[in-house]
Amino acid sequence: MMKQLEKQDLLALISGIVFGVGLGLSQMIDRQRVLGFLDLAGVWDPTLLFVLAGAVAFTVVAFRFVLRRKVPLLGDKFYVPSRSDIDIKLVLGAAMFGVGWGLSGYCPGPGIAALALGSWNPVLFVLALVAGMFAFQRYEAGQ
């Protein structure tokens, strides 16, 4: 019999694979598609809108049922954010993310899944992404 922790690991692996295939199939690992969506004044590419719509349509319905449970199937609690306040960190962080997204055409998920393409762009992006996160850790530790 598998232990609870091993089952959770297996689920994380399956979830990651499904996520990666979804990003590939929806062409979100193609940075030109993402930049095309963000280019409202150019030849606009609606792909990302339908990807987000498909994903959110699924989670809006499914999460309602999932979060009615007291505990997840393989764990003892739901790790769901409970904050509802709007602070400057949220807005400033999201604004910075949007600028980086518009420059690179990658957000974290597609950047990582695109490593499978064997191109240098996602490699540089992911290295810089990790460096940016380490920089934030240092900034937070110094606060």
Q: Which is nearer to another protein, 3 or 36 (CB)?
A: 36
Alpha-carbon gap, residue 60 to 45, rounded angstroms: 25
Window 27 to 86, contacts with another protein (CB under 8 A): 27-33, 35-36, 38-47, 50-60, 62-63, 66-67, 69, 71-81, 83-86
Give the DSSP letter string of 25-80: HTTTT-HHHHHHHH-TTSS---HHHHHHHHHHHHHHHHHHHHTTSSS-TTSS----
Spatial contact of 9 and 29, defined as CB atoms under 8 Å apart: no
6 binds another protein (CB under 8 A): no
# of chain residues touching another protein (CB under 8 A): 117
Q: Report in angstroms how near the CB of residue 73 gets to another protein at its nearest.
A: 5
Instruction: Show contacts with another protein in window 85-114 (CB under 8 A).
Output: 85-86, 89-109, 111-114
